[in-house]
Structure 1
Amino acid sequence: MNACPRVGGRPDTRPKTAVHMRHNGMGDLVWHAEYFRLVAATSRDGQVTVVVPPSARALDLLGHEPWVREVLDYDRRPRRSEGRTGRHSGLFGPLRFGAELATRQLDRMVLFSDRPGRALVACLRAGIPTRIGFGSTWLQRRLLTDGPRVPLYRGTAVGLYHDATALALANGWSHMPMVPRLTVRPEAMHRMRARLAGMPWPLHVLAIGASESYKQWGTRRFTALTQLLATRGHGVVLLGGPAETGLSLEILTALPAVLRSRVLALTDLPVPDSVAVLSLAQTCIGNDTGMSNIAAAVGTSTYIVLGPRPPLDHDPVHITLLQAPALEDIRAEQVLEQVLKLRDAPRGASSVEPVEATTPSRPINAT
């Protein structure tokens, strides 16, 4: 084990630790963040090195957290939509990354992954003596050194959060499932309070981005919902990334001119500022995307237009699922009906004082 710094006059003998998640999305990272924090509480200096794909945007979402030592991008398999080759792709990519890990002189790696290749990198190239993971395959079990075997979730909901929960419970880092939570950077909150100061209230964020086309509710439906909300005098923020700039312009152009002052398109914000916008809104309505999951994690009542896909059940207070046999069957009027239930909620939703949903989150049958 590496030489230990002294804390309060005594050596800190806890292991210097990295945590790893193989999935690409920001929403995936949201589901893991609380468990990463709990692993950090058992680690050297109360911190961990976070090892995730760059598309998870860990530096933007978690880089300000005191329990994060550093963020390392494991750029193994970029999404096809990115149209590039990862820095750690190819036959020798994992070995290159293992060499990067080796310079950190880690004592322990916690693998929120069932893939044996990650354990192999930690074992053979990075020289990390303690390796903990699910052990759900024969090969991964051979490469792990500690912790019980943890079976993967086989239920009907999206399983990634349940798998992370099971790993944390089995190893004693948590005694109950942790609802995902994020904190907002203070400087981002200050900027976005100023930028949204003139917007009408209630303020609704429409998370119009989608990583896959089958998750996209569509221009026509988002336009209809925007018009319904703005007609009632509410404020609407169209939130997305640069890829949604065209979509936001289509929505704005389709609105009557008298309503456009109540609608703000924000598709060029850095991720921390988008997080702050979500925390300042009364509701978020959007596709099954990272931003919708972030909205719930900062305490904003969130409506996810999910369609017929497996449910998300990690936050029964802040998330309401809108489901139907087909995504296009969910109408803007039905979404509006759910959102208007919060019209009398107090202003000032934030990650510190979240506005909670008036009823427990549950799937809404749109048929």
Structure 2
Amino acid sequence: MSAVTYPTRRNDLMPLVRVLTTGGTIASRRAADGRVVAADSADEVLRAVVPVEGVSIAAEEVFRVGSYRLTLPDVRELANRVRWASKEADGVVVTHGTDTMEETAYFLDLVHDGSVPVVVTGAQRNAESADADGPHNLRDAVRLASEPAARDIGVVVAMAGRVLSARQVTKVNTLALDAFAAPDGGQLGRIDPETVRLLATPRRRPAFDLDTIDGALPRVDVVPLHLGADGTFVRAARQAGARGLVLDAFGAGNVTPDVLRATEQVLAAGLLVLVTSRCHAGPVSPVYGAGGGADLAAAGAVLAGDLRAAKARVLLTLALAAGGDAGRATELLHPHVRP
């Protein structure tokens, strides 16, 4: 862990933004073997950023890894650190790898109930690149986090000048600088060179109590649908000890006949099942029969609205961890899957 004074003293005239670093491309450099790995400390990440006039910044390292190595318990630890940081700061920024940024941002949003803005950002090009985008993205994130108009915005992602809601944001390009979008309308504003423009505020849904999310997190698996898929992975998830299942279904929430049969079996055994769509935008809906979303809903599966599979898994994990039993977990799910 490292901390930096850059400066850190808070006063009545200068907002304080706490930056929590976790590694990712923004902190990465090329190793001796030519592979890019997370290397920079919080001090080094912040040192590359042009200071934001009128803002105090304090930085602290939480992890130093690529985000593809993070686990849900890691993100729970990060969420606790964000909670403590938000008690003493006007805004919090989390630097993060882009691979799982959308899942971490959504987890943080699900447990964040304060008015302090939390901005997640990162980079597509490593710190040694001549045209590294990390310093610019981080400076934009600090500007947004210190913006009075951002109070009560919850958790957002700021990348390439876009402000995107944690619920809707997704990575849409592997390497491009402008790699994140919100296909279902979650762009909240832009960060221009001179101005932070917030055009909308996301709807805040009930937050999960982080203090109830302790101990071992329940296993929740994602089953992707494809042409001719059978129920093998549904049955395997139950055998592996899953307490919940996310079906990444066709279209508006449809599955093959064998997946329907296997899903009915695991529902009868007490698993909770969320249904999402593998489409990039649009909600699931109980329209079709003969294996469609209507049959899944009739069997007891919960339709996940406009959530995509990776985020539905985060939501279902938290609901099961906080709810204790399936009935209470289902109650906790509903505010988050309704329009």
TM range (shorter): 0.3 to 0.5
Larger Rg: 1
Instruction: Give TM-score, length-normalised by structure 2.
Output: 0.35
